[in-house]
Structure 1
């Protein structure tokens, strides 16, 4: 049992670990994780974070910074005992944003690395829901390490929302985006839609593209608009990270379509079964999907209950007419309305961004 003072100190350390986690890439399939190592007085003696797939995990990154002579991250994978890395962290507490992993992937299990390093206590925020990677806490307890779980869990859950959703559901986290006028129109009666929103909102969309593993549209959008689906900066330059373009539908994509010039390889999937499409993307390592098609594909994801988050860019314009932002959702009466919880309202120039999630969302 920890005292309120100890709880407050651990929460402060966990928030710092979360800030460290933010230095790591949000794309690439792995969670953003931070770790701090503290001594008996509560002073931080080392810290680290996960720098991306194939690199040392946050715990190992922190252990490697303890100044233990020739110790490096490759010796801290938990696969070898009896090496010079044992007890390098004797008596220290590890504060980690996610339960230390318990499996051999590209690196060894972090739970074993912490055991080998001799830590006396491990504090983490969120249990690892991975069917293969979970169970690190039990392994640590079996090894005689004190384990405290759930410190600043709500903050960590929000920080890891997309990765946790993907891991728990075993499909990519899906964000559905659209831009519309205040009266819910995505285009004028003649089909023109450029530009509903201003430059600030459009640049924000590019930033969101760069936070996704894949960007998804339907063949209708490709044939009608010939989009490039790249993530670009203010001056039109390509950003460092580019989402993989994914097109749902059977119609052939023209050889001269802009998507054929995308930096990442185009993937086309039969969109008649969205669950199957998402499963295929998950198996390919994609954890964050950004749906940016027209009303048909947006409505399909929402109607199927597969939209984990909505990004709605509202412009102070009125168009009227038939070109609505969403189509049929399978709702015939008010009692069947799909309730949402608004998580963010943000002005973007003269426009407003609304971020919402299904109100019925539950967390394991």
Structure 2
């Protein structure tokens, strides 16, 4: 795993309090996921201009939905330049659809992605979305202080 992003807080957009609030929200959303034996429960929030412009959770609208893609659908063009918060590292590979979440976030033009828990290797082999996003020039922040909250709705898998 790459080290946490080191951009000074004033240069990256939202405050540390905003980061904590929106990551906590992403972890809350993960608890809404219908349990699955074959997929993680993840929550995601997209914030721009001090406001939430999209949020979602795994399996929110369709059994194959990932949290980030639901949040991106809600956010639409407002995702460009926004910060995406995900309870788990956005996927770089997936079985259910052709485009993994890291690719969708990059294509939407998000400026930064923050996540709480690296994606465990249960369903796909690494490397994960973190490395992909960094290669695309997107700032990545790891927030391990929220790892326990991100693990909770996935306890049956971990």
**What TM-score comes out, normalization by structure 2 length?**
0.80
Whether the 8 Å CA contact 2:30–2:153 is kept in 1: the answer is no
SS of equivalent residue, structure 1 residue 65: helix
Question: How far does residue 30 in structure 1 lie from its aligned partner after superposition?
Answer: 0.8
SS of equivalent residue, structure 2 residue 148: helix
Counterpart in 2 of 1:328?
none
SS of equivalent residue, structure 1 residue 106: coil
**Using the alignment, how far apart are the partners of 1:133 and 1:162 within structure 2?**
21
Number of residue pairs matched by the alignment: 143
Q: Does 1:161 align with 2:152?
A: no
Gap runs ≥5 in structure 2: 1-5
**What TM-score comes out, normalization by structure 1 length?**
0.37
Counterpart in 1 of 2:75?
66
In the alignment, which of 69, 81, 89 is matched to residue 91 of structure 1? Answer: 81
Question: How far does residue 28 in structure 1 lie from its aligned partner after superposition?
Answer: 3.6
Q: For residues 173-205 of structure 1, what are the alpha-carbon distances to aligned partners after superposition, in whole Å with 9 as ceiling and x for unaligned?
A: xxxxxxxxxxxxxxxxxxxxxxxxxxxxxxxxx
- Which residues of 2 match residues 218-233 of structure 1 at below 5 A? none
- Which residues of 2 match residues 39-188 of structure 1 at below 5 A? 39-41=48-50, 43-51=51-59, 54-67=63-76, 89-107=79-97, 108-130=99-121, 131-132=124-125, 134-151=127-144, 152-163=146-157, 165=158
- Which residues of 2 match residues 335-350 of structure 1 at below 5 A? none
SS of equivalent residue, structure 1 residue 123: strand
Residues 38 and 19 of structure 1: CA distance in aligned 2, closer, same or farther (over 3 Å): same
Counterpart in 2 of 1:29?
38
- Which residues of 2 match residues 195-234 of structure 1 at below 5 A? none
SS of equivalent residue, structure 2 residue 79: coil
Question: How far does residue 139 in structure 1 lie from its aligned partner after superposition?
Answer: 0.1
**Using the alignment, how far apart are the partners of 1:65 and 1:9 within structure 2?**
20
Larger Rg computed on CA atoms: 1
**Using the alignment, how far apart are the partners of 1:38 and 1:47 within structure 2?**
9
Counterpart in 2 of 1:343?
none
